[in-house]
Structure 1
Amino acid sequence: MSEDEFQEALKKQPLVNIGTSGHVDHGKTTLIEALTGVWASRHSEELKRGITLKIGYADTAIYKCPKCPPPQAYYTSATMPKDGKCKYCGSPLEFVRKVSFIDVPGHEMLMSIMLAGAALMDGALLVVDATKECPQPQTREHFTALSIIGVRNLVIVQNKVDVVSKERALESYNEIKKFIAGTWAENAPIVPVSALHKANIDALVWAIEEYIPTPRRDFSKPPRMFVIRSFDVNKPGTNAKDLVGGVLGGTIVQGRFEVGHEIEIRPGIKIKKDGQEVYEPVYTTITSLKTGDQPLEKAYPGGLVAVGTTLDPSVTKADNLIGNVVGYPGTLPPTLYDLEIEVNLLERVVGLDKPMKVEPVRAGEILMVNVGTALSIGAVTSVRDNVAHMKLKIPVVAETGTRVAISRQLAGKWRLIGYGFVK
């Protein structure tokens, strides 16, 4: 892809995914709203309970004043004046790029969903509540998850500074510095904000621009997308002639998709064959591509893309195809019912109030694995030289070297204990 093509794509769709992570109730969804103007938790149960249950998403564009110094030079679509001019000097604001924010749950029981979201992240905002001691259990767990998945572009957001004293804000800052000392993130910026009052958001946008760049991907590879949502977008009572096909939502990780092309979805849907339940790939045609409200003829890696298809909407409704991988027919990795993983265990279980040593993986135990956006549970059939063999309940699509997050059930809850690589 030429530089001109890259710049043109940059104007039409986000080419970078920025996740929010951190403990429940630290203000991640409120922060995304301050940045984008969009409340990312859209599910009815989320609105009722006031917490994130599914992966949310929201896009925005970043603008910069050509004359003012940072941080006040930076704006987003949600914070810029309606006339498109800098509120300090009146200069017309210049477009920088579009970005996509991924909102993941902070609750300990939803860690598997957070791991699926982390698989899509090019960078992350680790949100810390200044009113509470750092780290909270899921602050530590989410930071470990980012480490395992390989996210290395990080901005730490010290939220709720509007409701603490100056002394507590400084104490909170020092707690954060101590938490990240000696880690890959020890030099990450810490930006104090009030997401609720939208205070210091310009400084946060500046830090995002400095520390979370748009990655350059290989557009020449066969296209591949991880599915994170799937929908039936037809409203009840729609006439049969007006029905549209099912929609897949996710992120393209390589190559590019185009309207009109045929695609394969793996592992696909569950069917009965010879008396056994197996998964069969699904084939369909792309009828539309969209990012936010922007229709596309071609969709590139990064950002969250909605792919319209000719599938029966019953196949995609209620997130039925979460965890699937999409590509052109014949280009996808194999569907694996048996998984061989080179295991790397953490020293301690994260996410608990009290430290607990991670015990070795044992034959016969049940583990949960996250592979891309796919989640599966399987029985360990054998372990030798840190290589575990698993029989999966739900197959995954992966090639050699794919990173896997590993969790074990402890006290009735799945806890992150390590990571591995598909052999």
Structure 2
Amino acid sequence: MEVEVEGEEITQEELTAERGWHTARSRRRDGRGGKNSSPSASPQTQESCSRTIPKKNVKAQVLKAGRMPPLPKNEIKIILRPKGGLHISKVGSPTVTAAIFHATKMPLEESQEDTICPNVQQNIIVISTPHPHNADRYVRLKSIHVNGTTHEVNAYEAAPDNTTKGVIRGIPLTDTAQEIDANIVNTRNPLALAAKRIGTTTTVVIAFDGPSAPRLVRYGATLIPCSLYRKKIDICYHCGRLGHRMDVCSFPNNKICRGCGSRNPDQDHQCTPKCTLCDGAHPTADKECAAKYKTPTDPDRDPAPEQAVPDPNPGRDPGQPQEDKQPQKRSSPIPSPKEEGPPGRSYRAAMGGSIVLIYTNLRPATLEWLADYTPDIMKALEDLKLLRLSDG
């Protein structure tokens, strides 16, 4: 549901409102539809990550354990984050499901098409429903009653499938939520579905339709750079474990040191920190840790368009197949560009001319070496009748 790459760091709690990304879903339904993203892999059950896992597999195992099964496409996804130390795997998923239905007072016949899937690793509940009125009931949940204990829940609607979150900064604090939405979600930003301020900061997160986000966003009449949302591996700053966040921690009395891994350290505990993810000299998943991001590099968001390969036989009938021509054998080997000539000067830079290929049936990819050859070598190639030099 999110694209995690290089950009601004934000947390799920910071952009959570009472209705989450409800506006993004409604605007897409009104005509901004997109293709559905491919389903995730099968779920895996795993206890919270500790230092008994081999270091080289820590990140992979945490990511694998947190994956969700494929949920129905085009349905509304609601996230429930239980508080108060509720341990979903110990309580049992059916018990949690019954508590949710009891809290919403939803009849059985109205919930038969809904899907409730707990994520044991992240200690959250994901609800998928095709009915908007059911989604509204789930979002309004404030607490659930499980085994005689009432647990507060933070419920919000997730961004629709096949959306990407981008971040812009420097938005005045005086701008209201309605003004922010009006300045971003308009015809000048055709991919923008919804926009929300992050807490009380000047940073705004935007949900874009599709698998990529633009590099620039128009905020009213202002053009502002947009960076991609950085999705991180969850780390609990309360118990020190990987895989879940502090607000849903189910280990309030069983802590480990993020620096050395010792259990239940004293308040005066001192150690030499070593990251579990990257072995760096810092606490696990610290701010300076590059391994905490799920996607290590920023993919090219604006790839150059592919250039069409010219037809080597422009005069032939398009319906006729091309003739297979065997390349002619060279009388002598092609000299290496490193053998002679001034370094750093290509033929084009030195001569100011263009290259006219004699063998037009050669593929362009095989001729990339021409740009790095010096004038002397290019003259030798001309003598070999491999190309002809022109003054254009």
- Relative to the length of structure 1, the TM-score reads 0.21
Highest CA radius of gyration, 1 or 2? 2
In terms of fraction of residues, the more strand-rich structure is 1
Pick 1 or 2: higher relative contact order, CA cutoff 8 A, min separation 6.
2
